[in-house]
Structure 1
Amino acid sequence: MTARTVVVTGGFGILGSVVAAAFAADGHRVVRVDYAPDASESLPGGLDIGGVDLTDFAAAQKAVADIVAACGSMDVLVNIAGGFVWETLNDGGSATWQRMFAMNAVTCVNMTKAALPELEKAASARIINIGAASAVVAAAGMGGYAASKSAVHKLTESLATELAGKDITVNAILPSIIDTPANRADMPDADFSQFVQPAAIAEVIGFLASPAARAITGALIPVTKGG
Structure 2
Amino acid sequence: MNSPTPGAGAPGAPAERAAGRVAVITGGASGMGLSICHALAGIGDRVAVWDIDGAAAERVAEEIRAAGGTATAAEVDVTDRAAVHEALRKVHAEFGPVQIMVTSAGLVGFAPFTEITDEAWHRVIDVNLHGTFHCVQASIPDMLAGGWGRIVTISSSSAQRGSPGMIHYTASKGAVVAMTKGLAREYASRGITVNTIPPSGIDTPMSRNSQAAGNLPDNEVMAKAIPVGHLGTGEDIAAAVVFLCSEQAGYITGQVLGVNGGSVI
Question: Matches of 2:31 and 2:72 in 1, distance apart?
Answer: 15
Count of residues paired in the alignment: 226
Higher Cα Rg, which structure: 2
Unaligned runs of 5+ residues in structure 1 are none
- 1:63-102 residue pairs with structure 2 within 5 A? 63-102=87-126
* Aligned: 1:204 with 2:240: yes
Separation in 1, partners of 2:33, 2:70: 13
Deviation (angstroms), 1:222: 1.2
Paired residues of 1:32 and 1:46 also in contact (CA < 8 A): no
- Amino acid aligned to 2:188: A
* Cα distance in 2 between the residues matched to 1:48 and 1:88: 40
Offset at residue 125 of structure 1 (A): 1.0
Correspondence 1:142 to 2:166: yes
Structure-1-length-normalised TM-score: 0.92
Match among 112, 115, 126 for residue 139 of structure 2: 115
Deviates more, 1:73-82 or 1:88-97: 88-97
Which stretch shows the higher mean deviation, 56-65 or 201-210? 56-65
1:167 maps to amino acid: G
Which residue matches 2:214? none
The two structures have a TM-score, normalised by structure 2, of 0.80
CA contact (8 A) 2:85 2:138 kept: yes
1:190 equivalent in alignment to 2:221: yes
Mapped contact 1:61–1:115 kept (Cα < 8 A): no
Identity %: 32
2:83 to 59, 65, 69: 59
- CA pair 181-37 structure 1, distance change in 2 beyond 3 A: closer
Cα deviation, residue 73, structure 1? 2.1
**Aligned partners of 1:51 and 1:206: how far apart in 2?**
24
User: Is this contact kept in 2: 1:124–1:214, CA < 8 A?
Assistant: no
Distance 1:183 1:93 in 2: 22
Q: State the partner residue of 2:195.
A: 171
What corresponds to 1:125 in structure 2?
149
Q: Distance in 2 between matches of 1:88 and 1:50?
A: 35
Deviations 1:43-89 (A, max 9, x none): 21443333212112122112111101110221111110111111112
